[in-house]
Structure 1
Amino acid sequence: MEDNSAAEPLIKKQGYHDNCEACKIERFKESNTGIPFKLLFFVWVVTLAAALPISSLFPFLYFMTRDFHIAKREEDISYYAGYVGSSFMFGRALTSLLWGMVADKYGRKPIIMIGTIIVVVFNTLFGLSVNYWMAISTRFLLGSLCGILGPMRAYASEICRKEHQALGMSVIGTSWGIGLVIGPAVGGFLAQPAEKYPQIFSRESLFGRFPYFLPCLVISVFALVAFIISCWLPETLHIHCEENIARNSREAPPEDNTYESIQSQEMEVSKLQSTVSQRSLFRNWPLVSAIIVYCIFQLHDMAYSEIFSLWAVSSRKLGGLSFSTSDVGEVLSVTGFGMLLFQLFLYTWIERMLGAILVSRIGAVITIPLLSSYPFIAKLSGPVLLLVLNSASLLKNVLSISITTGLLVIQNRAVAQEQRGAANGISMSAMSLFKAIGPAAGGSLLSWAQGRQHAEFLPGVHMVFFILNVVEIVGLIMTFKPFLAHPEDEISDPEPDPESHRS
């Protein structure tokens, strides 16, 4: 009897609380070994709503910045566009840790609901921007006030049993990656509708006067749907703990064994909280190392996303492809569909066979020669150009999402539940800082490179993709020990000490 009691999880030893949604989730995980498909679908939708606005502006950002008439030369447009792209991530870097701490105190669900409404409001206002500074301000506020991703990562790991946590992180990574690809596709197809679809939208209409409002409006409507869905998300953070234990101890009769049991439980909770408080997140090297490596790859991916769209719409004389926003949208649509198929049917099989870290390393190695080929792709034309470019874009984004999924799993397994919100907040703050650097650095780098078309060493866009490869090589080196530590010996969820339950 004692052995069976000792083997029970702490939450079960304390007893479930009928009014606690987190207890219901724990009870569901204990009684069902399967995958919570319904909740994971909700997670996928909400994460997609948070990801779509991040990169949806990239296909039309070049033209939007041009229409603001802030750049004096054509080569300077990419420079100014980079700062609009960075403002979102800069705002998120300042507040992600705060949102994570709030999520650890008040729950994941309130932060998720607030974040989706913020997307609805400020993404819509960005589409209505009338000048450069309004565009930067609305993007900054959207980034700083939308704290969805950190708590959503914690949420995805908490609704899954431990053996399914990798799938939960994969859902987050897949939705996020698809959002970063489908977002530009939406922006590419729907921007400037009065020019592309004059039979539907007149130049005197709202969408004619605000040519970049339609893609923002579509994404905001989708975010509103995500907000409605988030109302049905169960909370995963336990909010009762000591208060309910104290109440039960007052109500229990002295002669009943329940009093001794509750005293034991109260000591166990105090011991657990003491352990958690002593465990500094910044001294948790498996967590910190995974965050640092993740940030390096995210810096690379964000810079690439900015550069790809700006490079594609740049003129041929500057080493670009002279694409329209629709052309970019078509390429990114094919990429997004391919990523979805890869994540659904191939990634899990590959990850089980090779392991998440090895998949990340292989992805980084393949990325290097792939990016080196981009300047030569610009020399192609016609159907051959479209075939090669679509293949390269698909492969690059598949490799990127494969690299980051394993690092997300390591981050969430390296901490206990009580710290996951804060841990993901730290991760989001650091990642957002690097992602804020990415678009600004990418835009400035492309602008500078396009001004040196006749240089002897790496002329034009050759220099751009060379520097991207340098960042990728740095990330690849950091995936090896002793830098990247594995959290096998770390506490991923609190477990009771069996001896504390023995009399």
Structure 2
Amino acid sequence: MIAPQDDEETPLLQQPKQSMVKTPLPWDQFWIILVLQFSDSLVFETLSPFTPQLIRDIGVTGGDEFQVGYYVGILRSSYYVAQIVTILFWSQLSDRIGRKPLILTASFTIAIMMLSFGLSRTFIGLLASRLICGAFNGENGVVKNLLMDITDATNLPKAYGYMPIPWMSAAIIGPLAGGSLSRPADRFPNIFGQSELLKTYPYLLSCAVPAVCASIAWLLTYFCLKESVSTKAPLWELIKEWLSRRSHVKPSTSSSHALASSEEVPPQPLPLHAVLTPKVLIVAASNGTLILYGLTIRSILPIFYATPIGLGGLSLDPPRIGAIFATSAFVGGIFQVLFYDRLHDRFGAYVIYMTGLCSGIPAVILFPVINVLARAHGMGWPVWLAITIQLILLAVLEMCQAGIGLFIRASAPNRASIGAANGVIQLVGGVARIIGPVCGAAVFSYSMHEGRDAWLAYYFFMTMGFIAIGTAVFLPRDPRLWEEECR
């Protein structure tokens, strides 16, 4: 047999391309994740149509219409604040006791809290329900951990391509259910007119929709979902370990000897300080700036559409604005389902991510361009063409959310610490979700005042874009490079 000869004229770094065999998507478990994501989105989407009227009905504003938005904002923010506070805890705990117990606990609690929201007659009751619901919805990060457990680098892009489906479904079903089923005794007197329960609690039926959905998600999780964490420990063992540490009791040497004598020890969840590696911090910074960048732009879209043309907007009425958003979400979601996996195979996660970030810059520049066109031609076809181009660019920006998931998975120090790494990254992203819309709306409103630079808001948004691009430069060109380093 002749040994292979090295060709000294061939560059050392040039390697023959090998076609990667893609692992089939595990649909027996993946469809449950889609149901869980739908249930999570429905919790929020269902409440949006009737919450302002609910605030008026309970009388907390004292008849002051200007305070309705203030109290609605408190309810909305409390949900996300509670979610941020608990998401790291849930993610770390899921690495130790498994994903399934936490998902079951969260689904049960969310179902109860949604019914509690519909039965609340005071603002304190509403606030408590949203706080508890948001705290247990920190398990949304656990579901993302579960997705990374059951996939690998070859089929995760395909899985992310399907993730818009539950969000789009909830965005359609939630508002319809929340709006049409609120005050059912008044809307459908022939069916619900005799129900004293629904007369006393006119929003209970609307809240029952996400509660039933969460209950169905609980049943599916209990009977169909397989635990994906192989190194899980019983919760009681973790409590005893914590008590032993508090008592300064050293662990038993027999268990340590047993582990040392084993030929192959599976990876164990790492403590938080060991999870905070440069890779995790890079992805956390990239994810945080991406969310801050995207939400600041998205937050001003309805304001820009509704602002009079003379003040820098488009003077559109709510039905037109709603139609634009619904069409944009539907088309963007379908595009990602059909093409994201193919684009990833052709260009890779990094190229898609950077392209998405760069697409936001011209999308921002189009804001004043659209207003100039509206001033010159009214709401004619040039304006609608420019709006369409802007929405396409923003849809490309939205695809970054799918790409960041690949980097999250690759940044984990080991397979047993995916939950903790994802928790840190989601924590930073959650903070960005709170401050992004506030900053975007505040800067835009400030720049629209007479005597101020109308471009101030656009300078701010473009600066956020360049910061997001700057942090993305430190991401690997291929997430698999980081995963191979941890093997």
TM-score, L = length of structure 1: 0.69
Alpha-carbon spacing, 1:300–1:494, altered in 2? closer, same or farther (3 Å):
closer
Kindly indicate whether residue 398 of structure 2 is the aligned counterpart of residue 401 of structure 1: yes
Q: Out of 426, 430, 434, which is 1:436 matched to? A: 434
Q: Kindly state the Cα deviation for residue 457 of structure 1 after the two structures are TM-superposed.
A: 0.9
Alpha-carbon spacing, 1:288–1:36, altered in 2? closer, same or farther (3 Å):
same
Alpha-carbon spacing, 1:220–1:375, altered in 2? closer, same or farther (3 Å):
farther
Q: Out of 93, 114, 124, which is 2:105 matched to? A: 114
What aligned pairs does 1:7-46 form with structure 2 within 5 A after superposition? 33-46=23-36
Alpha-carbon spacing, 1:332–1:119, altered in 2? closer, same or farther (3 Å):
farther
For structure 1, the residue ranges without an aligned partner over 5 or more in a row are: 1-31, 243-261, 496-503
C-alpha contact 1:191 1:211 (8 A) present in aligned 2: no
What aligned pairs does 1:114-263 form with structure 2 within 5 A after superposition? 114-126=105-117, 130=121, 134-172=125-163, 174-175=164-165, 179=167, 183-186=170-173, 188-190=175-177, 192-193=179-180, 200-201=187-188, 216-231=207-222, 232-239=224-231
Aligned letter for 2:335? F
Distance in 2, matches of 1:449 and 1:71, equals 28
Aligned letter for 1:221? V
Aligned letter for 2:398? I
Distance in 2, matches of 1:463 and 1:322, equals 23
1:185-223 deviation digits (Å, cap 9, x = unpaired) = 445445554899999446988888877666544333333
Tell me the SS of whatever aligns to 1:419: helix
Number of residue equivalences: 430
What aligned pairs does 1:68-467 form with structure 2 within 5 A after superposition? 69=61, 81-126=72-117, 130=121, 134-172=125-163, 174-175=164-165, 179=167, 183-186=170-173, 188-190=175-177, 192-193=179-180, 200-201=187-188, 216-231=207-222, 232-239=224-231, 266-269=262-265, 272-273=267-268, 280-282=274-276, 284-309=277-302, 319=313, 321=315, 323-324=317-318, 329-374=322-367, 379=374, 391=388, 395=392, 398-415=395-412, 416-442=414-440, 444-445=442-443, 448-449=445-446, 452-458=448-454, 464=457, 467=460
Which range moved further: 293-302 or 312-321?
312-321
1:344-390 deviation digits (Å, cap 9, x = unpaired) = 22111112222212212211222222244346657598796996698
Q: Which residue does 1:52 correspond to in 2?
A: 42
Q: Kindly state the Cα deviation for residue 289 of structure 1 after the two structures are TM-superposed.
A: 0.6
Tell me the SS of whatever aligns to 1:269: coil
Alpha-carbon spacing, 1:419–1:92, altered in 2? closer, same or farther (3 Å):
same
C-alpha contact 1:59 1:184 (8 A) present in aligned 2: no
Q: Which residue does 1:256 correspond to in 2?
A: none
Q: Which residue does 2:242 correspond to in 1?
A: none
Higher RCO, Cα 8 Å, sep 6+: 1
Distance in 2, matches of 1:414 and 1:183, equals 30
Tell me the SS of whatever aligns to 1:346: helix
Distance in 1, matches of 2:337 and 2:53, equals 35
C-alpha contact 1:194 1:207 (8 A) present in aligned 2: no
Aligned letter for 2:425? S
C-alpha contact 2:84 2:138 (8 A) present in aligned 1: no
Distance in 2, matches of 1:422 and 1:95, equals 12
1:123-150 deviation digits (Å, cap 9, x = unpaired) = 4444566565554443332211223222
Distance in 2, matches of 1:391 and 1:125, equals 42
C-alpha contact 1:182 1:332 (8 A) present in aligned 2: no
Alpha-carbon spacing, 1:313–1:456, altered in 2? closer, same or farther (3 Å):
closer
Q: Kindly state the Cα deviation for residue 443 of structure 1 after the two structures are TM-superposed.
A: 5.3
% identical aligned pairs: 18
Q: Out of 444, 465, 478, which is 1:472 matched to? A: 465
Alpha-carbon spacing, 1:306–1:277, altered in 2? closer, same or farther (3 Å):
closer
Aligned letter for 2:79? F
C-alpha contact 1:123 1:220 (8 A) present in aligned 2: yes
For structure 2, the residue ranges without an aligned partner over 5 or more in a row are: 1-21, 235-257
TM-score, L = length of structure 2: 0.71
